[in-house]
């Protein structure tokens, strides 16, 4: 009986997963951490088992001390010298950070030299000659993950933070870097592990006088897991919007004022504006920051029937942009007749998330817009926003309406909440599917071993999100898009 009580509540051991190779004890990497080009300061990062030793060979303080003599987490003025030829390369500042309280949890040195491509590469070559190797993209962050300082979601957040274009994107990435998503996934996974332990204990000790969860209790816990995964899956759209920008297509007939609207929103003359129909033939794409929300705004070719091959290609691209857009700004010129083309576009975009933008209100209103079959007389149509790109009237109001539209239907999460990316969503869907299979098997009174197998699959998928279970191929895929030096 004592043995039974000890084992109850412990999940059955699973076969070991592939372990990722940690950095070898003597492996040391280096890279330029600042962008290529001239600048006031350039940063070279060095980390690994021999970082202190290698830095000591090339740097001395004003008092003649080497890096080996310096205390951790201190910064010093000194010189970098190439001892092979006795050449002084630069006067620099050097920061020394000893393991384990570093980004990679390995000894780390950062050299702050004068900026400039030639000088930075001279120092980098010197470190490589002393035994360091050039870091691969994202390798410093990869080492931080492999050494347990961060999980995989936090590693991905580093790149999101670097690429963020607005306050909202920055806050979302910072929340993920702080472990918000890690905590939610870890709690979800722990709940699944506890449920699996109960089910497996019931399998192992059916004949002993112990209490286990009944079928209704297990079903209730499975439903709870399904709902919790669903709440995370629903954050994918918000996460995608903040990371990549909200795809916003400006569409409408030729000469409706689409390019003028783009220029007015950007506060610059980005698109060519002429009275000639068909001036815009390709998609012009720019990022726009509206109240901290990133809009990937696209000025498109005017939609009409045409025999011009180049313009037709532009129209095809416009239709593709409409299909892919998160938000459509349908631009209609109220100084011109509300014709067949305008009515067709109103109908075509009716089922999509859109705003109707009526332009050129500085000109006289055409009578067709006042008729019973005009814009106001149509059923189920969103309230238009009236603007003049020429005078600026209505532009500020349009900005506010766009922000409200986005916050009500696209970015529905708070920026400090956990938001998943495409990889996380795919794994959560797989995990949720496995839990649903377990719930169905329970209803059909299938053997508990089958239910346990599905729950174990869900646990593995959740583990892949944080990196509890992963492979070298997955890590390579994630880190290959990082910049070198991070």
Q: How far apart are CA 232 and CA 224, in angstroms?
A: 13
Peptide bond into 100 cis (omega under 30): yes
Q: Is 486 helix (H, G, I), strand (E, B) or coil?
A: coil
Residue 209 and residue 8: Cα distance in Å, rounded? 12
The residue with greater pLDDT, 154 or 273, is: 154
d(CA 459, CA 320): 39
Nearest to 231 by CA among 464, 413, 410: 413
Show the tokens assigned to 29. Answer: 């990497």
pLDDT band at residue 224 using 50, 70 and 90 as cut-offs: very high
Cα–Cα distance between 462 and 180 in angstroms, integer?
A: 15
Identify the band that residue 17 occupies on the pLDDT scale cut at 50, 70 and 90. Answer: very low
Residue 305 scores a pLDDT above 90: no
Among 74-83, 260-269, 421-430, 440-449, the range scoring the smallest mean pLDDT is 260-269
Token readout for 394 is 């209505």
Task: Report yes or no: 425 and 233 within 8 Å, Cβ to Cβ.
Answer: yes
Q: Sign (positive/negative) of CA torsion 416, 419, 330, 166?
A: positive
> What's the average model confidence in pLDDT over 247-275?
79
pLDDT confidence of residue 371:
62
Residue % of the chain over a pLDDT of 70: 84
Average pLDDT of the residues of the chain: 84
pLDDT band at 486 (very low <50, low <70, confident <90, very high): confident
* Banded model confidence at residue 222, pLDDT cuts 50, 70, 90: very high
pLDDT for residue 85 is more than 90: no
Q: Could you count the other beta carbons within 10 Å of the beta carbon of residue 419?
A: 28
- Of the two residues 206 and 64, the one the predictor is more confident about is 64
pLDDT for residue 452 is more than 70: yes
Label residue 19 by pLDDT band (50, 70, 90). Answer: very low
Beta strands 385-386 and 327-333: pairing type? unpaired
CB-side exposure of 153: number of CA atoms within 13 Å?
30
pLDDT in the model for residue 16: 40
Say what the pTM is: 0.77
* 238 or 441, higher pLDDT: 441
pLDDT confidence of 18, banded at 50, 70, 90?
very low
For residue 59, the model assigns a pLDDT of 96
Residues β-bridged to residue 123: none
d(C-alpha 426, C-alpha 462), whole Å: 10
Closest CA to 157 of 467, 471, 468, 470: 467
* Average pLDDT score over residue span 105-114: 97
Residues for the chain: how many in total? 486
Give per-residue pLDDT as tens, 171-204. Answer: 888 999 999 999 999 999 999 999 998 888 767 5
SS3 content of the chain, % helix, strand, coil (to 5): 45, 15, 40
- pLDDT tens-digit series, residues 28-50: 999 999 988 888 899 999 999 99
209 pLDDT above the threshold of 70? no
Q: What is the mean pLDDT of residues 288-302?
A: 84
* 207 or 426, which is more confident: 426
What is the per-residue pLDDT for 308? 65
Rounded mean pLDDT, 267-282: 60
Q: How many CB atoms lie within 10 A of CB 405?
A: 18
pLDDT for the residue 20: 52
What number is the average pLDDT over the span 418-441? 93
What pLDDT was estimated at residue 231?
A: 92
pLDDT for residue 6: 40
Give the mean pLDDT of 355-376: 78
Could you tell me which residues come within 8 angstroms of residue 199 by beta carbon, excluding any fewer than 6 positions away?
213, 218, 448, 451, 452, 455
pLDDT exceeds 60 at position 109? yes
State the Cα–Cα distance between residues 144 and 155, nearest whole angstrom.
8
Q: Which domains does the chain have, with CATH numbers?
A: 28-146 (3.30.1360.120), 175-235+418-479 (1.20.120.430), 248-408 (3.40.50.300)
């Amino acid at each position: 009986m004592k043995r039974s009580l000890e084992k109850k509540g412990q999940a059955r051991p699973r076969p070991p997963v592939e372990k990722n190779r940690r950095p070898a004890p003597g492996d040391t990497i280096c890279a330029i951490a600042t962008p290529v080009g001239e600048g006031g300061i350039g940063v070279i990062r060095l980390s690994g088992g021999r970082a202190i030793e290698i830095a000591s060979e090339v740097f001395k303080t004003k008092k003649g001390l080497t890096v080996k003599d310096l205390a951790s987490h201190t910064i010093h003025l000194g010189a970098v010298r190439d001892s092979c030829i006795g050449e002084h390369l630069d006067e620099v500042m050097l920061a020394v950070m000893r393991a384990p309280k570093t980004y990679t949890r390995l000894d780390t040195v950062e050299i702050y030299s004068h900026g400039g491509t030639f000088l930075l590469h001279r120092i980098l070559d010197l470190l490589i000659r002393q035994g360091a190797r050039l870091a691969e993209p994202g390798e410093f962050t990869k080492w931080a993950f492999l050494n347990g300082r961060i999980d995989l979601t936090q590693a991905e957040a580093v790149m999101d933070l670097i690429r963020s274009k607005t306050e909202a994107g920055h806050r979302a990435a910072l929340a993920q870097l702080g472990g918000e998503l890690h905590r939610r996934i870890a709690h979800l996974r722990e709940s699944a592990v506890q449920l699996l332990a109960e089910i497996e204990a019931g399998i192992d000790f059916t004949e002993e006088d112990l209490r286990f969860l009944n079928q209704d209790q297990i079903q209730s816990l499975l439903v709870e897991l399904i709902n919790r995964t669903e709440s995370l899956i629903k954050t994918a759209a918000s996460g995608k919007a903040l990371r990549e920008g909200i795809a916003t297509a400006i569409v409408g007939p030729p000469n409706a004022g689409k390019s003028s609207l783009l220029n007015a929103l950007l506060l610059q003359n980005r698109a060519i504006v002429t009275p000639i129909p068909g001036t815009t033939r390709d998609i012009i794409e720019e990022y726009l920051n509206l109240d901290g929300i990133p809009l990937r705004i696209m000025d498109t070719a005017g939609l009409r029937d045409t025999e011009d091959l180049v313009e037709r290609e532009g129209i095809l691209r416009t239709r593709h942009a409409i299909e892919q857009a998160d938000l459509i700004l349908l631009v209609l010129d109220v100084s011109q007749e509300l014709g067949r083309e305008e009515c067709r576009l109103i109908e075509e975009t009716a089922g999509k998330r859109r705003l109707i933008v009526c332009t050129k209100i500085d000109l006289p209103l055409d009578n067709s817009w006042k008729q019973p079959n005009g814009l106001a007389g149509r059923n189920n149509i969103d309230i238009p926003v009236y603007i003049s790109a020429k005078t600026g009237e209505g532009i500020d109001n349009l900005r506010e309406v766009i922000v409200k539209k986005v916050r009500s239907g696209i970015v529905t999460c708070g920026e400090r909440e956990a938001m998943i990316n495409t990889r996380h969503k795919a794994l959560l869907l797989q995990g949720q599917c496995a839990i649903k299979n377990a719930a169905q098997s329970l209803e059909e009174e299938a053997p508990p071993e089958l239910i346990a197998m599905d729950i174990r699959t869900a646990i593995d998928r959740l583990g892949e999100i944080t990196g509890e279970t992963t492979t070298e191929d997955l890590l390579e895929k994630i880190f290959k898009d990082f910049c070198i030096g991070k």
